[in-house]
């Protein structure tokens, strides 16, 4: 992050914004606009091309490009004369980002951030790329040379530019048009084929899928685990458990404070790109809970607990909202907050603690992380990872004390920048994760945090009168943006909270979110959901997102959540919308299944009648809660858990207590097993 200057010579329009990313650019000499009509009108009136620059506040290369280019008076002067410059926070507007990222990739450029695209005043892209250097480098022109070339083209060959922008626009329209492929059969072979694809990409040495850089992408192992358990392919289950072990051993995991970094720059999970994102950590909580349920290995439960401890300690607003991310950089150096040298540790620990810590974390004199920052790179840095898995019993206490001292000292370092905006989409993910952690681990801290979070989101981002969910809240203000991602992820999270507590208020809220989502985003003609509301005036394309990358797409999340909600409430409109969404992407599921792992979870769910665990009893009574814990203690992803109060399906309401005591009915369709309060019997039947 750029260092704040004590006396700013410039302040631009971004000072009025709430996004931490836009505020990082408020003192650039560039005459920035936020995305909106004010900027578009100026581009049309003055007939100037638009520079659209997209990034996010914890993006390392965005900070680099800001320092090198956007803080340069000479470059800003050229930009201000020849262009209208717009900054977008991709986390606030993933819909805008998706359109222009797709365009830049269609031009044959790699994707990534910062994303810099050049548009006509009608917002149609004609050129773009990611990071542009300040000086010509490795055969690439400098950013200023690019700007000069584009300004020259705009001046002398505007007809050609407009015509190429129109051609690209037509190609993009054709690319994003989704027609359902009715002749494709979606059955078990599609899931088998997807599992085979992922198996081929598996790294048997270090775990994970593919090579460096390595991303956790939790929906991939989640699908493989589900498929391995269902088809009794132990090899697949082992791949996932090995991956979970290797990630938790690596430097991508914060061994002192909990939580995972976004990805590892190498294949062995050792050196992370140190930024921590809420959405990664939410999905990883779910993956580690599943790994724990399947294996019984307590270590996986501990990792899930530690992630949540980190989130509740460092990433939570006092009123319960979850913040978005922490930066990779502190004091202008990547990883400085997290790394250690032997020389630092030696005076901090006793000789015995030092020897144990050095062996356990693999700390060397030379270090394992190269600081690339200029002009004074930090020498001999060590990223902590587990180099010695088996700790002798005599050393356990020494290691714990060493970790305690290291955490305490690290807590006094200058922390990386915190992106403290609260996004409905990512909060929905973390809400679901923390609710499931309560259901599986029984820690009431997690239940309280989940209840507090949903109350926060309802108060700050939900309008009950119009069933409208806004996307971002920060510093007392919400935005006016509505996105499928927000509705779908919050729907999924609130459903998880309902299944963990059986509080019918949460089921009622889930229904309202689902109805709002169907009204705004569902395509009744072809199935599937648009990424933005159809009333969005600032988008040149309507897109149905079909890629489950670091975050699952809104379509994948919506499909699975609607199938579950349909099973709990017997609402056939939800079930049908879920199924039609999956069928819309049938071609993708067959040809490129590794691109849609979360949609594979939805397909897996769709292919069989869901099992229902109906719990009859007061959800607040201890005996009912014990039964609820038991139902959640078995890995059975294709079930729903429901009570008998509120808007549940009619059949559940006919089920009764036995001898005045709470019981569980395990049902498929209208057929149920005999009701039971015997927890061991319940576990056996669920398995």
pLDDT digit string, tens, across residues 408-446: 999 999 999 999 999 999 999 999 999 999 999 999 999
Instruction: Report which secondary-structure segment, H or E, holds 348.
Output: helix 342-348
Work out the average pLDDT over 337-347.
97
Contacts of 55 (CB under 8 A, 6+ apart): 21, 62, 87, 89, 90, 113, 114, 115
Interhelix angle 219-230/597-606, rounded to 10 degrees, is 30
Asked whether the predicted pLDDT for residue 164 surpasses 80, the reply is: yes
Residue 7's pLDDT is 57
Could you tell me the pLDDT band of residue 182, with boundaries at 50, 70 and 90?
low
d(C-alpha 410, C-alpha 428), whole Å: 30
CA 145 to chain centre: 36
Residue 591's pLDDT is 93
d(C-alpha 17, C-alpha 28), whole Å: 14
Interval 91-124: pLDDT, tens: 999 999 999 999 999 998 888 999 999 999 999 9
Long-range contacts of 151-157 (CB under 8 A, 24+ apart): 151/49, 151/78, 151/82, 151/83, 154/48, 154/49, 154/82
| Residue 654 structure tokens | 């006919």
Interhelix angle 393-411/351-361, rounded to 10 degrees, is 90
d(C-alpha 259, C-alpha 252), whole Å: 9
Task: Using the Cα atoms of residue 529, residue 534, residue 536 and residue 538 in order, give the sign of their dihedral.
Answer: positive
Contacts of 397 (CB under 8 A, 6+ apart): none
Kind of pairing between the strands at 125-129 and 272-273: unpaired
> What 3 state SS string does 360-426 have?
HHCCCCCCCECCCCCCCCCCCEECCCCCCCCCCHHHHHHHHHHHHHHHHHHHCCCCCCEECCEEHHH
| Residue 245 structure tokens | 């072990």
Residue 429's pLDDT is 98
Spatial contact of 358 and 318, defined as CB atoms under 8 Å apart: no
Work out the average pLDDT over 338-367.
97
Can you list the domains of the chain with their CATH numbers? 13-176 (3.40.30.10), 188-328+420-607 (1.50.10.10), 338-412 (no CATH), 612-686 (3.40.30)
- DSSP letter at 324? -
Work out the average pLDDT over 360-364.
97
Asked whether the predicted pLDDT for residue 163 surpasses 80, the reply is: yes
Spatial contact of 506 and 64, defined as CB atoms under 8 Å apart: no
CA 204 to chain centre: 26
Work out the average pLDDT over 575-581.
97
Could you tell me the pLDDT band of residue 5, with boundaries at 50, 70 and 90?
very low
Q: How many CB atoms lie within 10 A of CB 317?
A: 16
Listing from the earlier edge strand, what are the strands of the sheet with 418-419? 276-277, 325-326, 418-419
Spatial contact of 56 and 106, defined as CB atoms under 8 Å apart: no
Instruction: Give me the helices (H) in 109-212, please.
Output: 143-156, 158-176, 188-201
- DSSP letter at 69? I
Asked whether the predicted pLDDT for residue 4 surpasses 90, the reply is: no
Could you tell me the pLDDT band of residue 2, with boundaries at 50, 70 and 90?
very low
d(C-alpha 165, C-alpha 148), whole Å: 19
Spatial contact of 54 and 88, defined as CB atoms under 8 Å apart: yes
Instruction: Report which secondary-structure segment, H or E, holds 356.
Output: helix 351-361
Instruction: Report which secondary-structure segment, H or E, holds 288.
Output: helix 278-295
Cα Rg of the chain, angstroms = 26
Asked whether the predicted pLDDT for residue 183 surpasses 70, the reply is: no
Work out the average pLDDT over 113-136.
95
Interval 57-91: pLDDT, tens: 998 899 999 999 999 999 999 999 999 999 999 99
* Closest alpha carbon to 438 in 300, 305, 319, 259: 305
CA atoms within 13 A on the CB side of 230: 19
């Amino acid at each position: 992050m750029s260092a704040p200057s004590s006396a700013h010579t410039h302040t631009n329009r971004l000072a009025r914004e709430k996004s931490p990313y836009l505020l990082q650019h408020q003192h650039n000499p560039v005459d920035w606009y936020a995305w909106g009509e004010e900027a578009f009108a100026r581009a049309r009136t003055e007939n100037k091309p638009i520079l659209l620059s997209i990034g996010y506040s914890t993006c390392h290369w965005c900070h680099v490009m800001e320092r090198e280019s956007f803080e340069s008076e000479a470059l800003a002067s050229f930009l201000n004369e020849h262009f209208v410059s717009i900054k977008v926070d991709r986390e606030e507007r993933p819909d805008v980002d998706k359109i222009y990222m797709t365009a830049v990739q269609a031009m044959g450029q790699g994707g990534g951030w910062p994303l810099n695209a050049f548009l006509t005043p009608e917002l149609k892209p004609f050129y773009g790329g990611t990071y542009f250097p300040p000086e010509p480098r490795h055969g690439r022109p400098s950013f200023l040379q690019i700007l000069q070339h584009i300004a020259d083209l705009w001046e002398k060959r505007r007809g050609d530019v407009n015509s190429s922008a129109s051609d690209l626009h037509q190609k993009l329209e054709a690319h994003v048009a989704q027609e359902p492929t009715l002749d494709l059969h979606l059955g078990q072979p599609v899931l088998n084929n997807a599992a085979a694809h992922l198996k081929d990409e598996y790294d048997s040495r270090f775990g994970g899928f593919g090579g460096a850089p390595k991303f956790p992408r939790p929906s991939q192992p989640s699908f493989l685990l589900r498929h391995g358990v269902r088809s009794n392919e132990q090899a697949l289950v082992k791949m996932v458990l090995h991956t979970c072990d290797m990630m938790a051993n690596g430097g991508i995991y914060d061994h002192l404070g909990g939580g995972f970094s976004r990805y590892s720059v190498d294949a062995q999970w050792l050196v992370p790109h140190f930024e921590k994102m809420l959405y990664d950590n939410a999905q990883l909580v779910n993956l580690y809970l599943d790994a724990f349920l399947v294996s019984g290995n307590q270590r996986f439960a501990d990792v899930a607990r530690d992630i949540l401890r980190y989130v509740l300690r460092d990433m939570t607003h006092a009123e319960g909202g979850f913040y978005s991310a922490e930066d990779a950089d502190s004091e202008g150096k990547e990883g400085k907050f997290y790394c250690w040298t032997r020389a630092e540790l030696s005076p901090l620990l006793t000789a015995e603690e030092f020897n144990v810590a050095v062996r356990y974390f693999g700390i060397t004199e030379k270090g394992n992380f190269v600081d690339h920052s200029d002009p004074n790179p930090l020498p001999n840095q060590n990223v902590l990872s587990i180099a010695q898995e088996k700790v002798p019993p005599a050393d356990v206490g020494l290691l714990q004390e060493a970790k305690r001292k290291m955490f305490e000292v690290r807590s006094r370092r200058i922390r990386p920048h915190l992106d403290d905006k609260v996004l409905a989409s990512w909060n929905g993910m973390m809400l679901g994760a923390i609710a499931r952690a309560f259901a599986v681990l029984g820690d009431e801290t997690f239940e309280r945090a989940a209840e507090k979070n949903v109350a926060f989101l309802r108060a700050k981002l939900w309008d009950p009168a119009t069933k409208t969910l806004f996307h971002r809240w920060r510093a007392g203000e919400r935005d006016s943006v509505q996105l499928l991602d927000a509705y779908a992820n919050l729907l999924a999270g609130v459903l998880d909270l309902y299944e963990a507590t059986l509080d019918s208020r949460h089921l009622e809220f889930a229904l309202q979110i689902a109805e709002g989502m169907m009204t705004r985003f569902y395509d009744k003609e072809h199935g599937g959901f648009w990424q933005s509301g159809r009333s969005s005036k600032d988008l040149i394309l309507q897109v149905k997102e079909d890629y489950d990358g670091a975050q699952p797409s809104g379509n994948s999340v919506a499909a699975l959540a609607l199938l579950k909600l349909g099973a709990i409430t017997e609402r056939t409109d939800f079930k049908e919308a879920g199924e039609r969404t999956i069928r819309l992407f049938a071609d993708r599921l067959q040809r490129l299944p590794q691109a849609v792992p979360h949609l594979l979870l939805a397909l897996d769910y769709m292919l069989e009648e869901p099992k229902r665990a109906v719990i009859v009893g007061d959800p607040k009574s201890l005996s009912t809660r014990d039964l609820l814990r038991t139902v959640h203690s078995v890995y059975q992803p294709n079930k729903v858990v429901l009570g008998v109060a509120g808007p549940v399906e009619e059949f559940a309401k006919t089920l009764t207590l036995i001898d005045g005591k709470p019981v569980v009915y395990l049902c498929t369709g209208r057929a149920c097993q005999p009701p039971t309060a015997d927890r061991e019997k319940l576990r056996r039947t669920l398995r």
